[in-house]
């Protein structure tokens, strides 16, 4: 069994905040929503939760430092990760997942299954965005196909006038309970009844339209408000916008993944923006001021005399805004010197639609250099 400190990637002298931060980083990396169907990632996710449950508790951490894993043998055989249930992890540590301040982005906490009808399944979509949209923040309207309550039976699943019977498996409770022991103590794992899907009742005469499902596929329009600064690989959850559950259960979520499209001029690295700029040899020798494009508009950049080809100039605060923070990266402008005299014909062209851009006298931008 791996050392808990190694699992979280911290030293034995790590502070509580360092342990919490390390756990959140590992947990988000192996979060089930980011790795659907990946049993290895799920196991690492559980191992990280187990490690954090011990190291975040001062008493348990002291015991672990003195006796290692054997300190918890009396609580269930060493506390292997197989003792941890995903629902229990989200219940115990959900505040950590949601502490990003952006709902379920980057793997926010889930809701544990409650008694009653099973929850509907989640839907997943990918939204492609330009750098300008990411910089400004935007509301996207998307159309999705999802399961919604049946219009014939109003979601009940029963034919008009018929009465359901009590489920024989759960005796009407709608859930099946299992008791497990772990390093956290006794854990009651509650799962919806599979026979009645958590409803507690069996439909004897199903609806002729939805055949007892209580739902049918429809097209829905959803508005998604996307904050500034998201990046490829980030995702968020729109609560209740997924598939509706069978026979009255709570709907699932809509999971939105973000994808950053390539830009004709800019290259993004985290919150910094990179731009290639071409100038004439005399401008490099004597210095000049040129206009350069940024995500917030055109700005003036001073070129010092004697600048070398390949030198990078920094425009502070002209990069991308950091997600959920009022802090901006920088724009880094790489200066390339065209030594041969070149004559340019002035044309009115939009710099985003052209491979080359002339802004001001004798200034050429080429993103392919």
1-110 with 267-366: one CATH topology? no
Tens of pLDDT, residue by residue over 187-238, are 677 777 877 767 777 887 888 777 777 777 888 999 999 989 998 888 888 8
Across the beta sheet with 123-129, the strand order is 123-129, 254-260, 235-238
| pLDDT at position 186 | 65
| pLDDT at position 338 | 84
| pLDDT at position 183 | 59
The pTM (predicted TM-score) of the whole model is 0.53
| pLDDT at position 111 | 45
Of 286, 297, 280, 296, the residue nearest 335 (C-alpha)? 280
| DSSP SS3 for 25 | helix
Phi-psi region of 76 (alpha: psi -120 to 50; beta: other; left: phi over 0): left
CB within 8 Å of 23: residues ≥ 6 apart:
8, 48, 49, 51, 52, 56, 93, 96
Tens of pLDDT, residue by residue over 267-299, are 999 999 999 999 998 888 899 999 999 999 999
One of 1.20.120.1690, 1.10.287.110, 3.40.449.10, 3.40.30.10 is the CATH number of 1-110, namely 1.10.287.110
**74 vs 233: CA distance, rounded Å:** 42
The answer to whether the CB of 153 falls within 8 A of the CB of 209 is yes
Report whether pLDDT(32) > 50. yes
Report whether pLDDT(117) > 70. no
Please give the DSSP secondary-structure letter assigned to residue 68.
G
Would you say the C-alpha torsion 277, 280, 283, 285 has a positive or negative sign?
Answer: positive
Of 198, 297, 186, the residue nearest 245 (C-alpha)? 198
Report whether pLDDT(18) > 60. yes
129 pLDDT band, cuts 50/70/90, is very high
| pLDDT at position 193 | 81
Report whether pLDDT(116) > 80. no
| pLDDT at position 340 | 59
**154 vs 340: CA distance, rounded Å:** 76
40-63 burial, b at 16+ Cβ within 10 Å, e below that, comes to ebbebbbbbbbbbbbbbeeebbee
Phi-psi region of 319 (alpha: psi -120 to 50; beta: other; left: phi over 0): beta
154 pLDDT band, cuts 50/70/90, is low
pLDDT averaged over every residue in the chain? 76
Of 38, 61, 41, the residue nearest 51 (C-alpha)? 61
What's domain 267-366's architecture? Answer: Sandwich (2.60)
| pLDDT at position 72 | 64
CATH code 2.60.260.20 for 113-261: yes
Report whether pLDDT(312) > 90. yes
Tens of pLDDT, residue by residue over 330-348, are 999 999 998 654 433 333 3
Distance of CA 304 to the CA centre of its chain: 43
| pLDDT at position 194 | 77
Please give the C-alpha separations between residue 222 and each of 111, 147, 151, in angstroms, as whole numbers.
Answer: 22, 14, 20
Where do the structural domains in the chain lie, given as residue ranges?
Answer: 1-110, 113-261, 267-366
325 pLDDT band, cuts 50/70/90, is confident
104 vs 69, higher pLDDT? 69
The answer to whether the CB of 159 falls within 8 A of the CB of 80 is no
Q: Which two tokens stand for residue 364?
A: 């050429």
| pLDDT at position 209 | 74
Report whether pLDDT(74) > 60. no
Would you say the C-alpha torsion 297, 303, 309, 315 has a positive or negative sign?
Answer: negative
| pLDDT at position 182 | 61
């Amino acid at each position: 069994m791996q050392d808990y400190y190694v699992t979280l990637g911290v030293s034995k002298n790590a502070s509580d905040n360092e342990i919490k931060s390390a756990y959140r980083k590992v947990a988000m990396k192996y979060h089930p929503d980011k790795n659907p169907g990946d049993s290895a990632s799920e196991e690492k996710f559980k191992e990280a939760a187990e490690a954090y449950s011990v190291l975040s508790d001062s008493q348990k951490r002291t015991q672990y430092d003195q006796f290692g894993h054997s300190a918890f043998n009396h609580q269930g055989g060493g506390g292997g990760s197989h003792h941890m249930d995903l629902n229990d992890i989200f219940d115990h540590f959900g505040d950590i997942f949601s502490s990003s301040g952006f709902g379920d982005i980057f793997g926010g906490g889930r809701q544990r299954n409650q008694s009653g009808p099973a929850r509907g399944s989640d839907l997943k979509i990918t939204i492609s965005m330009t750098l300008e949209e990411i910089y400004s923040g935007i509301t996207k309207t998307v159309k999705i196909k999802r399961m919604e309550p049946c219009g014939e039976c109003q979601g009940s699943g029963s034919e008009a006038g018929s009465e359901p019977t009590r489920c024989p498996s759960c005796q009407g409770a709608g859930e099946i309970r299992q008791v497990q022991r772990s390093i956290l103590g006794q854990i009651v794992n509650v799962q919806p009844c599979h026979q009645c899907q958590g409803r507690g009742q069996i439909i004897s005469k199903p609806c002729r339209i939805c055949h007892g499902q209580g739902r049918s596929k429809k097209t829905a329009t959803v508005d998604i408000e996307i904050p500034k600064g998201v990046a490829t690989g980030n995702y968020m959850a729109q609560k209740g916008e997924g598939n509706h559950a069978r026979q009255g259960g709570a709907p699932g979520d809509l999971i939105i993944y973000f994808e950053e499209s390539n830009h004709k001029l800019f290259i993004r690295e985290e919150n910094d923006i990179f731009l290639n700029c071409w100038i004439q040899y005399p401008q490099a020798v004597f210095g000049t001021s040129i206009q350069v494009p940024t995500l917030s508009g055109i700005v003036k950049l001073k070129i010092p005399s004697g600048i070398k080809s390949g030198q990078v100039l920094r425009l502070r605060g002209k990069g991308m805004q950091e997600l959920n923070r009022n802090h901006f990266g920088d724009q880094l402008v790489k200066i390339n010197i065209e030594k041969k005299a070149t004559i340019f014909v002035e044309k009115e062209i939009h710099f985003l639609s052209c491979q080359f851009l002339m802004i001001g006298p004798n200034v050429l931008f080429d993103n392919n250099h």
